[in-house]
Homo-oligomer: A and B are copies of this chain.
Amino acid sequence: MPERPGQAMQKSANKRRATVADVARQAGVSVATVSRVLNAKAGDRNPVAEETCQRVRQAMQTLGYRPSQVGRTLRTQVAHVVALLIPDATNAFYAAIAHATETALRERGYAMILCNTSEDPAIQDEYLREMQAHNVAAIVLLGAVETAELRTAANSDTPIVFLNRRAPQGVPGPFIGIDNAAAGEAVGEHFAERGWARIGCIRGPQTSPASRERFEGFQSALAAAGKPLDPDLVEQGALTIESGDAAMARLLAGGHRPDAVFCGNDLMAYGAHRRLADQGLSVADVALFGFDDNPLNAWLATWLSTVHVPHSQFGRAAAEVIVELANHRGERMERQILLPFHLEVRASA
């Protein structure tokens, strides 16, 4: 590793950070009283005398005191920290959720540990264990992968909140996301109304409940409209650009080109679009509909019709659930928070 010659070590002259004991001494009270001032709430049964309170606050000010989160956590057993497990924070859709979550948590006095899992079960499981060792107030799991460790963790003291992708069968824990089946239906109804004859679909993986629900909703809405989906025009992708590209290639190679294709997420729609372009086609020839309303659309695909998933609301909802959980520690909360979605109909469909 290249480095400049000017490397040097010096002793730094640091004064120890002040503790409750320092404040107590300075204010002439006990540490218990300092702690009470620190944790004073509205309806306290034995409040600190106003005059004492003033004195303590003054001492804190003088010493530049800030309570140690570590001492507090060891005593209360729960840190003002939340872990966010996320497949990949460089994915713009996830990044938007991570950002919203961090902001909402900060406003409520929590810090956020970011954990990229790459959807790797081993990394997810290691983080699940490690975050418990940090006594985090909650683990927010975006895109949970089903493992034995996840079941264990879900039954531990540390609450797990499932974001976007629902908890696996039989695993307890609140869910925050949208009603994917209803969203799939809405897209199906839109397709039926538009009167397209040959309707295709590039769906997400079978292993993802969200993808499954989206697909089934879409399928059933078309069936209800008397236009059942042709299984030959259904392809499966891995929610990546490349897989969308490949899936569209298969659809086009099939001989009878679809008029419109519902893609399981926006990234696959980008890939499908690229493949169309490669074949000299456009969304005028094959309409495209995505899912997520990926923030990249603003730069990459202003033309893409899609289902808007309210990523920025995910964070606030998660933060609220966590605060509520913190106030009911030790109880298990089964809860579904379904956020509103809407179709964002643009040029492509």
A333 touching B70 in the complex, CB below 8 Å, given contacts A113-B111, A116-B103: no
Residue numbers in B under 8 Å from A47 (CB-CB) = none
Contact with A299, one of B4, B156, B300 (Cβ below 8 angstroms):
B300
**Segment at the interface with B among A34-42, A88-96, A212-220, A223-231:** A88-96
Shortest beta-carbon distance, A172 to chain B, in Å?
8
Residue numbers in B under 8 Å from A157 (CB-CB) = 12, 14, 17
Cα A92 to Cα B1 in complex, Å, equals 25
Shortest beta-carbon distance, A291 to chain B, in Å?
18
The answer on a CB contact under 8 Å between A10 and B73 is no
Residue numbers in B under 8 Å from A253 (CB-CB) = none
**Segment at the interface with B among A23-31, A203-211, A278-286, A335-343:** A335-343
Residue numbers in B under 8 Å from A328 (CB-CB) = 9
Q: At the interface, yes or no: A254 with Cβ under 8 Å from chain B?
A: no
**Segment at the interface with B among A51-59, A132-140, A187-195, A256-264:** A132-140
Residue numbers in B under 8 Å from A9 (CB-CB) = 328, 331-334
> How often does this chain occur in the complex, in copies?
2
Q: At the interface, yes or no: A233 with Cβ under 8 Å from chain B?
A: no
Cα A115 to Cα B105 in complex, Å, equals 11
Contact with B along A1-15 (1 / 0, CB 8 A): 111101111111010
A102 touching B79 in the complex, CB below 8 Å, given contacts A2-B337, A4-B336, A134-B111: no
Q: Decide if the interface of chain A is mainly helix, strand, loop or mixed.
A: mixed
Contact with A3, one of B4, B67, B81, B335 (Cβ below 8 angstroms):
B335
Shortest beta-carbon distance, A268 to chain B, in Å?
14
A-to-B contact residues, CB < 8 Å: 1-4, 6-12, 14, 17, 66-71, 73-74, 79, 81, 83, 88-90, 92, 95-96, 98-99, 102-103, 106, 111-116, 123, 129-135, 155-157, 172, 241, 270, 295-296, 299-300, 317, 320, 328, 330-340
Q: A7-B336, A10-B332 are in contact. List 15 more A-B contacts (CB 8 A).
A: A3-B335, A3-B338, A6-B336, A8-B334, A11-B331, A66-B132, A66-B133, A69-B135, A83-B111, A102-B115, A102-B116, A106-B115, A106-B123, A112-B113, A270-B299
Please provide the 7 A-B residue pairs with the shortest distance between their CB atoms, ordered closest to farther: A4-B336, A114-B114, A12-B332, A9-B331, A10-B332, A90-B95, A69-B134
